[in-house]
Amino acid sequence: MLRTVIEIDEEKCTGCGQCVLDCHEGAIEIVNGKAKLARENFCDGFGDCLKGCPFDAIRFIEKDAPAYDEKAVERAKKIKELLKSASCTASEETVSSLSSDLTNWPVQIKLAPLKSDAFENCDLLIAADCTAFSYRDFHRDFIKGRTVLVGCPKLDMTDYSEKLSDIIRANQIKSIHIVRMEVPCCSGLMRAVEDALKKAGKDIPVSVTVITSKGEIR
């Protein structure tokens, strides 16, 4: 359908990320140092991101694009809120004695930098974002001692292999551990890692843990 969405000028964009913060729908992401309209169906066409861009790199255009999917946007917002609160949510009885084992940020695959000290000589954990909520001792059993990346192939509607291959190619990674849910869509994480290793031309040990819908290790 023909409708109004935003367009980002890559030559003007510096990847500052202001538009990502201003886009309340989560339609924009930083990819390889540049802002991208990653989900056209998340763009409502109101242009909250335009006024905040310090480099005038965003404009309105009319094009054939998917309809704005309000329900998908709301689902994505709920997941984002859960991820944001995960590191600070604990029972009142134990909160004073708990601490996070997370040592790197950002953790989302599509927002992670290609080169980082956190990736050098690390044991890399690549996890489906649902696993941290399904498995109670996720920090203790999986995050501790590892650099973390999370994602959801179904929600992001993308192939992570290109981004992961760039990260693997640019850093010395010792091992990769994948934690996924038992649902079929999570197999996309495993395929992405396999493809990324082939593209990067590296042989890195890979292990996999599968979490059931009841929060148990299968």
Q: Which residues pair with 126 in a beta bridge?
A: 149, 178
The confidence score (pLDDT) of residue 90 equals 47
Q: Tell me if 54 sits within 8 A of 13, measured CB to CB.
A: no
Sheet holding 147-151, edge to edge: 147-151, 122-128, 173-181, 206-211
The confidence score (pLDDT) of residue 164 equals 96
CA 35 – CA 19 distance, rounded (Å): 8
Structure tokens at 118: 């956190």
CA 132 – CA 137 distance, rounded (Å): 8
Helix H or strand E segment including 103: none
Q: Please tell me whether residue 210 adopts helix, strand or coil conformation.
A: strand
Per-residue pLDDT of the chain (218 residues; tens, 9 = 90+): 899 999 999 999 999 989 998 998 989 998 888 999 999 999 998 988 988 899 999 999 999 999 999 998 888 888 777 766 665 554 554 444 557 889 999 999 999 999 999 999 999 999 999 999 999 999 989 999 999 999 998 888 888 999 999 999 999 999 999 999 999 989 999 999 999 999 999 999 999 999 998 899 98
Whether the predicted model's global pTM rises above the 0.85 cut: no
The confidence score (pLDDT) of residue 97 equals 52
The confidence score (pLDDT) of residue 5 equals 93
